[in-house]
Amino acid sequence: MRSKTAIYAFFDIFFVSLIFTFFLYIKAEPFHNILGKYIYSFLLFLGLWLIVSIASNKYNFYKAEKLQSVISQILLGNILVLGLATTLIYLIRIDYYSRMVVFGTIATATVVELFWFVLLYYLHTATVEPTEVLEPKTSKRRSFLKNGLIARRAEARKPGLKSREEAILVEIDQKAFEFIFNYAKIDSPNTLVVSTTSRFNIETQLRSSFESIVNLKRINDIRYVNKFFESVNTRLPKGGIYIDFVETKNLRKRRILRKYPPLLNYVAYMVDFIIKRLFPKFSATKGLYFFLTRGQNRVFTKAEVYGRLYSCGFEIVEEKYISGHLFFIARKATEPYYPKNPTYGPFIKLERIGYKGKIIKVYKLRTMHPYAEYLQEYIYKTQGLQEGGKFKSDFRISNLGRFLRIFWLDELPMLINLIKGDLKIIGVRPLSRHYFSLYSEELQQRRKNYKPGLIPPFYADNPKTLQEIMDSELRYMDAYDKHPFFTDFKYFFRAFYNIVFRRYRSK
């Protein structure tokens, strides 16, 4: 297989070189000028083309299950080459490169590749294998054969003889099966076992309700994830179990870095990150991404998957990492929330309890992964609070988010709330419903009489525990009742001193 990939890579580079030379010829460049003027920058371009092509898995097109995957690999890889090449031209300031040569080479090479690779793909898939040979297509099926079930599978070719256990082991390995078996009665008619990415196969079941629903397809390949979760929710009673699995962003990164040799593995990860993680987040590329991929092989963080589950009425009961995937047991707790405007972009509005108990929308820059706001109760139960009242080991926070929090850049949009009158400069912290519920009832009622602030008493007193935080706010409110202006003035400068000179930081 590697020799075949190398041959395809060689011919691809050969065609790209011919196309590049052709466009230089159109510009009426003499051959000696081409060698002296373009050779080094062209070799750099070829190296970039080869690295991105390998990282995007373009030369392994014959392994793809669908033609659409082949086209996606070619288009997304070449779009990335175009962006990187254009960036290098401007950074290195190669003024003699015309746009016609660069864009023309990439565009023409893309057309040639589409024709060539698609034709070769059809030739590969047109091969008819003998019916007696049953080659497993995935490593999971190979593990199924290794488990000593070959004879049972041969008998199961007859209609009605394959057990549900055998059918499941074709899709997942033994460890995953044992994990699922502990929570779901596999052989019970009250357990629905499916291997699907479409909610159609959930909604069209003849039975209206099941005790457990087990899906053997990973969440990364489900196009409309929330709709799928909502469909599962409607088919379960309260307390019903839903089991599925996902390859998280961290697991995906680990797999890619192990798959390729050093240096090349980070290039491959960068290409994968840009295409699979960034493209879906920008309106200019989101439509193209979903058109080419149909939402398959998406990249999800653990926080986003769990947040989506909680927003759809589930709570996490158990989780386990098995064979490079995160398997989870979710229990139906409520009906889905059906969020109308779930926050996904960098600029978010969070519901907080304001003056007189009114719910206000607090503007911030995103520091957490999408849907993380639904996980406050889960984080509190599983992690608890650390010093300063924040959640311990909060995996909801992104790497960029940690940087933004250090310098309070995430809170700059809250100036909009200050202008609107929802907040004042100094005041009690605007709390979420869950964090508000952790306060004593007496303090909850009293807090409603005060407008929240941009700078809470926390930065003046530096409390360590939740009880100390509540005591700090009580002292502020007592002082504010006596001398409103002087109290805010004093707390402002105490907070300013602690932040600037003692380097108090948000975590």
Q: Name the residue among 439, 433, 458, 335 with its Cα closest to residue 377.
A: 433
pLDDT at 308: 94
Q: Which of 83-87, 169-173, 198-202, 368-372 has the lowest mean pLDDT?
A: 83-87
Domains with residue ranges and CATH for the chain: 2-125 (no CATH), 140-164 (no CATH), 172-248+300-332 (3.40.50.150), 250-293 (no CATH), 352-500 (no CATH)
The residue type at 384:
G
- The mean pLDDT of 39-59, rounded to a whole number, is 77
162 Cβ contact partners less than 8 Å away, ≥ 6 residues apart: 153, 156
pLDDT at 154: 44
Question: Three-class SS of residue 462?
Answer: coil
Separation between Cα atoms, residue 76 and residue 92, nearest integer Å: 24
pLDDT at 158: 44
Q: Contact at 8 Å (CB) between 256 and 265?
A: yes
pLDDT at 147: 47
pLDDT at 491: 93
The residue type at 378:
Y
Q: What is the mean pLDDT of the chain?
A: 81
Name the pLDDT band for 50 (thresholds 50, 70, 90): confident
449 pLDDT above the threshold of 60: yes
Percent of the chain with pLDDT over 90: 38
- Tokens 């409309």 belong to 224
Q: For residue 400, how far is the Cα from the chain centroid?
A: 14
pLDDT in tens, 106-148: 888 888 887 777 777 666 654 433 333 333 344 443 443 344 4
- The mean pLDDT of 393-419, rounded to a whole number, is 86
400 pLDDT above the threshold of 50: yes
85 Cβ contact partners less than 8 Å away, ≥ 6 residues apart: 45, 48, 102, 106
Q: Name the residue among 359, 375, 458, 366 with its Cα closest to residue 411.
A: 366
pLDDT in tens, 10-32: 878 888 888 877 777 666 555 55
For the ranges 70-84, 250-264, 286-300, the one whose mean pLDDT is highest: 250-264
For the chain, the distance separating the N- and C-terminal CA atoms, rounded to the nearest angstrom, is 49
296 pLDDT above the threshold of 60: yes
**pTM summary value:** 0.66
pLDDT at 389: 65
Centre a 10 Å sphere on the Cβ of residue 348 and count the other Cβ atoms it contains. 20
420 pLDDT above the threshold of 50: yes
Helix (H) or strand (E) holding 133: none
- The mean pLDDT of 269-282, rounded to a whole number, is 80
Q: Which of 140-144, 174-178, 253-257, 286-290 has the lowest mean pLDDT?
A: 140-144
- The mean pLDDT of 196-212, rounded to a whole number, is 94
pLDDT in tens, 326-378: 999 999 999 998 766 666 677 888 889 999 999 999 999 888 888 888 888 88
pLDDT at 156: 41
For the ranges 50-59, 85-94, 302-311, the one whose mean pLDDT is highest: 302-311
Q: Name the residue among 220, 228, 222 with its Cα closest to residue 298.
A: 220
pLDDT at 195: 94
Residue 362 bridge partners (DSSP): 350
Which string of b and e fits 58-78 if b means at least 16 CB within 10 Å? bbbbbebeeeebbbbbbbbbb
What torsion do the CA atoms of 364, 367, 371, 372 make, to the nearest 10 degrees? Answer: -120
CB-count burial class (<10 Å; 0-12, 13-18, 19+) for 214: buried
Q: Which of 182-191, 321-330, 392-401 has the lowest mean pLDDT?
A: 392-401
Which string of b and e fits 389-412 if b means at least 16 CB within 10 Å? bebeebbbbbeebeebbeeeebbe
Q: Contact at 8 Å (CB) between 64 and 293?
A: no
Which string of b and e fits 35-49 if b means at least 16 CB within 10 Å? eeebeebbeebeebb
- The mean pLDDT of 139-159, rounded to a whole number, is 42
pLDDT in tens, 303-323: 999 999 999 999 999 999 999
pLDDT in tens, 458-499: 888 888 888 999 999 999 999 999 999 999 999 999 988 888
